[in-house]
């Protein structure tokens, strides 16, 4: 019996992942770029060899669906594994569009593989974490990460690649939390709905590689306006595939829209601040760290909570 605790941070996509070419393996239809964030964290303890399978999430026994997902993931690591105990906690809202599944499966991949005594090379763990939740493959690394779509049918070339560490660029992501309700439609179902029904889906897929190429160059050049422009373009093309799905899928709430217009008004006044949204109502704003407090003050009247987050580090073992 071995017990290991690992932590990982969520990541927010700068160029988005939305759509799968292989559902069971979480192989993406599009490449993506992300920023791993400090401040929010998942902490997961795995005991490899327990009396029976147990999964506790945020201090209580997890529901059957979440538990089944976690134990199926441990079966990928070892189909003949012993019963395991997994205790995981997020210090931010779970399942509300704040990338909790990304940090969750990155921390779980690292803790469980270490507890089993496996090789914990981050690229190998990234391939593994992707099978738990696609975006988790980007949370093994800190800073700016690319996830290439890959070509192999088994997904061996579909994993994160570190582009630049957290100290590369002094930017912040200001996160306006407008609702902590669990999302009504999960990302996997939303992506499939868009793939199967949105008339915009093929255009979305066709333009993604170009957006990643522009975004990567902007990251290397520390060009905030360039990165912000392509991040907003990717964000609203992705949401357009959701809005034009049948039935339509809209994660936005009235407060989300108020936040977007607030940021665009700041930008009209000369501040370089750029919006993004994921599969939930929260609004995230990329800006220089020196401008984060100004952005946060402007968003506060519309939000339940506002967080100013800097680039974060990689998933790591803590004990
Ligand atoms: C992203 N999202 O790139 C995009 C933008 C949400 C919108 O990755 O089905 O939880 O487990 O692979 O990774 C959320 O999707 O989905 C996500 P699965 P995941 O961050």
pTM, rounded to two decimals: 0.97
| pLDDT reported for residue 140 | 98
**62: CA distance to ligand 1 center in Å?**
21
User: Which is the closest atom of ligand 1 to the Cα of 191?
Assistant: 9
| pLDDT reported for residue 165 | 98
The Cα-based distances of 275 to 227, 256, 262, 285, 286 in angstroms read 11, 11, 10, 5, 6
Tell me if 32 CB under 6 Å of ligand 1.
yes
CB 255 within 8 A of CB 181: no
Tell me if 235 CB under 6 Å of ligand 1.
no
User: Which is the closest atom of ligand 1 to the Cα of 15?
Assistant: 3
Answer whether residue 88 shows pLDDT above 90. yes
Q: What is the mean pLDDT of residues 82-96?
A: 91
Tell me if 126 CB under 6 Å of ligand 1.
no
Mean residue pLDDT of the chain comes to: 97
All structural domains of the chain, each given as residue ranges with its CATH number in brackets, are: 2-166 (3.30.230.10), 171-309 (3.30.70.890)
**95: CA distance to ligand 1 center in Å?**
11
CB 9 within 8 A of CB 38: yes
Tell me if 278 CB under 6 Å of ligand 1.
yes
The Cα-based distances of 206 to 20, 210, 234 in angstroms read 14, 8, 12
């Amino acid at each position: 019996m071995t017990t290991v605790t690992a932590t990982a941070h969520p990541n927010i996509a700068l160029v988005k992942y939305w759509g799968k070419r292989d559902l069971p393996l979480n192989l993406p239809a599009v490449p993506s770029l992300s920023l791993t964030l400090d401040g929010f964290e998942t902490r997961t303890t795995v005991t490899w060899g327990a009396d029976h399978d147990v999964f506790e999430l945020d201090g209580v026994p997890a529901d059957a669906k979440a538990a089944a997902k976690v134990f199926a993931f441990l079966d990928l690591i070892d189909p003949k594994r012993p019963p395991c105990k997994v205790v995981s906690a997020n210090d931010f809202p779970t399942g509300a569009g704040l990338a909790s599944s990304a940090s969750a499966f990155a921390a779980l991949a690292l803790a469980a593989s270490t507890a089993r005594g496996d090789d914990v090379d981050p690229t190998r763990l990234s391939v593994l974490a992707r099978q738990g939740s696609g975006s988790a493959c980007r949370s093994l690394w800190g800073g700016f990460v690319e996830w290439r779509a890959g070509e192999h049918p088994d997904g061996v070339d579909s994993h994160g690649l570190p582009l630049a560490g957290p100290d590369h660029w002094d930017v912040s992501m200001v996160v306006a939390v407008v609702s902590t309700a669990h999302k009504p439609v999960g990302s996997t179902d939303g992506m499939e709905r868009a793939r199967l029904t949105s008339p915009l889906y093929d255009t979305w897929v066709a333009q993604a590689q170009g957006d990643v190429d522009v975004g990567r160059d902007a990251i290397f050049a520390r060009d905030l306006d360039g990165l912000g422009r392509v991040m907003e373009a990717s964000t609203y093309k992705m949401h357009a595939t959701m809005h034009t799905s049948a039935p339509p899928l809209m994660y936005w709430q009235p407060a989300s829209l108020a936040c977007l217009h607030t940021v665009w008004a700041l930008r009209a006044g000369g501040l370089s601040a750029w919006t993004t949204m994921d599969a939930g109502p929260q609004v995230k704003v990329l800006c220089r760290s020196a401008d984060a407090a100004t952005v946060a003050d402007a968003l506060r009247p519309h939000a339940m909570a506002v967080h100013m987050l800097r680039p974060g580090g990689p998933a790591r073992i803590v004990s």
